[in-house]
Chains A and B, each alone.
Chain A
Amino acid sequence: MAAVRVEEVLAAAAQEQHRPRSVQVEKELELEFDLGNLLALDPNPPPAAALRGAGPRRESQLRALARDNAQLLAARLWELPAERADGAAGPLVARLPEPAFRLPREKPPPRPRPPTRWEQFARLKGIRRRKRTSLVWDEQAKEWRRRWGYRRAGGDPARAWLAEVPAGADPEEDQLAKLRRAKRERVARNELNRLRNLARAHRSAAAAPLHPTGHQSRQELGLVARVARVSTASLGRFQPRLPKEPAEPPSRDGGKKRRFGPLLGDLAAERGRQLELLRGMSSKKPALDITRAVNKQLREEDAEAAAAKGKKRAQRGKRGRRQQQRPGKRSGGGGKKGGAARRQQQRPAGGGGRRKKA
């Protein structure tokens, strides 16, 4: 008995070894692969007749089909560039490509937020962010301390026990209370500005998104429908309406071009307007102040150039940056005309090229 069994086992093992193990699979249509997702799509229609009857036969048919497909997928995966992780003895690791099959996102992509009031100003002036050191030298403690926070340089502000009375102040006034009040006001102003920036961002973001988000209210949908109607070449004048849709009421002020002043109104104002018109026509001075226009243009170009170069340019030394900022601050400080005059002196070439000979 035992001998027979051993023989059987040996025969089976021999057969296993010699049986051709092919990795070839024949398919009518090629499979589509997405190796980033370990995905294979088989467009061949499966043998419907074979799979109809329930039971183990169907299971074996399904398993054969699955085996063929899995073999093809594995063949592709083994063709990927592979390397040995952790040196020569480590496991063989293949580098997967990016997943190609497009799946919907979980949430919409993040919207860029509109710039805050300070950011707009900084962009206009060309002010770039200066990187500060995280530690400051504290003379009293003779060590490097952080700029703010726990154990900051300059001691704990809550423990400041001395507040000098300045020269012109009322001697009865509580200076410490004044400091505290000033701090509270600063905090409140900061918070107010933050909320204002938030409201501005929210306002621009909430302006009707013209694509479906799946959860729009009735008012939003009405607004979107109105905007869509007007977005034609003839501004919605020839758009047919739905059977029960109410006609758009004519706007009360008659639009921009159909607005007229009253016929019999303020005679003095009318006379003044006509005289002003005649004066403008007869004066030799040009209506457009060329110098102001040119300087405005130059300022805009400055702002654009600063914004474009700002990130690419390497950090200059502190001195260079301060020197660069000072002329900007000075001309910003002076009045418009004064600033314009100074700017003119700094750039004779640019202005002269564009100035007409007056």
Chain B
Amino acid sequence: MDALERVVKPKTKRAKRFLEKREPKLTENTKNAMLIKGGNANSTVTEVLKDIVSHHLPIQKNITRPFEDQTSLEFFSKKSDCSLFLFGSHNKKRPNNLIVGRMFDYHVLDMIELGIENFVSLKDIKNNKCPEGTKPMLIFAGDAFDLNEEYRRLKSLLIDFFRGPTVPNIRLAGLEHVLHFTAVDGKIYMRSYKVLLKKSGCKIPRIELEDIGPSLDLVMRRTHLASDDLYKLSLKQPKALKPKKKKNISHDVFGTTYGRIHMQKQDLSKLQTRKMKGLKKRPAEKSVEDGGISPKKTKSV
């Protein structure tokens, strides 16, 4: 336990719990995101920040430039125990700039700068939205998300951002939110829809979508991606989390489960079969057999 391995041990239970929450664990906590407004962030960017992660409030103003200097980002990440961040800024060279990034061990892992071209806010679309905190369904369309390395990292980053806590069960009627990302022509269209489940003939309902905000048209600008080996290191899962394989069980194509039992060598002559009276050995036959087979010790007198 790391809390007990410090030189100065925590003196209260509360402090100990606080430290234990932040130390590296086997199964980790849900990632938190911090929203940062850079110098001269205009209203568009502020709106975007507020809409995207609507339950957070922007916490920091005026950190210099993430692409040049990452120390202040890392400092805030350490203080607030957040591993994801969104940095919004605006200047003449890069208008309506949004930097999405994540951290590994409180150091910047990946950062991607996106330009916001078209933004429709939550307030502009007037209908009732789905409740906050619903786990959204994420859909990525476009072959760029598979072929291009930067797009792949962007996809991973966006999944990390929007996926929400990992749950074992989900209420099927509660699937209301869909986030759809399309990569076309060098642009990424992010749209957010509410799901309406309509009756269809079979068990699976027909899906109709209704546009709620926010919707963004993004252009990828600069990127700062982690080197391959650092990325691989961050993906590494501890062995204890790997699911234990059940041995001696196999499945075939049709779904039948086969099991293997390992037996010791059996003596087939001593096998317990059905007793058939006709095959039972009679005493006369038995003595003849014994006389022939069993070795008799002869005593020499």
Contact = CB atoms under 8 A, between A and B. Distances in A.
Interface of A: 21-23, 36-46, 48, 51-52, 54, 59, 62-63, 65-67, 69-71, 73-75, 77-79, 82, 85, 91-96, 98-99, 101-110, 113, 195, 198, 201, 211-215
Contacts of B175: 38, 74, 77
Given A23-B206, A70-B178, A104-B102, 9 more contacts: A23-B201, A23-B204, A39-B139, A51-B182, A51-B189, A77-B170, A92-B173, A93-B172, A108-B234
Given A74-B207, A108-B24, A43 B146 contact: yes
B83 interface: yes
19 contacts: A22-B206, A23-B201, A23-B206, A38-B135, A38-B175, A39-B139, A40-B137, A40-B140, A41-B155, A63-B209, A63-B211, A65-B180, A71-B207, A78-B203, A105-B236, A107-B83, A110-B24, A213-B230, A214-B104
A211 B105 CA distance: 14
A39 B170 contact: no
Interface string B170-210: 11111100101011110001010101011111111111110
Interface string B219-235: 00000001101110111
B182 A105 contact: no
Interface in B233-288: 233-238, 243
B149 interface: no
A69 B180 contact: yes
B234 to A, nearest CB: 4
Contact of A110 (B25, B172, B184, B233): B25
A70 B207 contact: yes
A96 to B, nearest CB: 6
A66 B191 contact: yes
A98 B226 CA distance: 26
A215 to B, nearest CB: 5
Nearest to A202: B5
B145 interface: yes
A95 B169 contact: yes
Contacts of A51: 182, 184-185, 189
Given A23-B202, A74-B207, A105 B28 contact: yes
Interface string B66-97: 00000000000000000100000000000000
| Top 9 A-B pairs, shortest CB-CB distance | A104-B234, A109-B238, A107-B24, A66-B180, A42-B141, A21-B200, A106-B83, A38-B137, A69-B139
Given A63-B191, A104-B235, A91 B173 contact: yes
Nearest to A215: B107
Contacts of A36: 166
Given A66-B191, A70-B178, A109-B24, A103 B160 contact: yes
Nearest to A67: B209
A235 B273 CA distance: 69
Nearest to B189: A62
Interface in B110-152: 118, 135-143, 145-146
B168 interface: yes
B59 interface: no
Contacts of A48: 184-185
Interface of B: 2, 5, 7, 23-26, 28-29, 31, 83, 102-109, 118, 135-143, 145-146, 155-156, 159-160, 163, 166-175, 178, 180, 182-185, 189, 191, 193, 195, 197-209, 211, 226-227, 229-231, 233-238, 243
A105 B104 contact: yes
Given A46-B182, A212-B233, A96 B28 contact: no
Contacts of B172: 77-78, 82, 91-94
Nearest to A74: B207
A79 to B, nearest CB: 8
Given A43-B143, A45-B142, A73-B139, A66 B178 contact: yes
A85 B239 CA distance: 33
B159 A106 contact: no
A351 B163 CA distance: 64
B27 to A, nearest CB: 10
B270 to A, nearest CB: 34
Nearest to B108: A214
A75 B172 CA distance: 11
Contacts of B104: 104-108, 214
Nearest to A95: B169
Nearest to A91: B171
A104 B109 contact: yes
Q: Which of B145, B172, B173 gathers the greatest number of chain A CB atoms within 10 Å?
A: B172
Nearest to A103: B160
A17 B152 CA distance: 43
Given A92-B171, A93-B171, A103 B159 contact: yes
Given A63-B209, A102-B235, A93 B25 contact: no
Nearest to B227: A212
Nearest to A35: B170
Q: Which of A38, A52, A75 gathers the greatest number of chain B CB atoms within 10 Å?
A: A38
Nearest to B136: A38
A39 B163 CA distance: 9
Contact of B170 (A22, A75, A94, A201): A94
Contact of B198 (A21, A92, A215): A21
B200 A23 contact: yes
A201 B5 contact: yes
Contact of B205 (A40, A78, A79, A85): A78
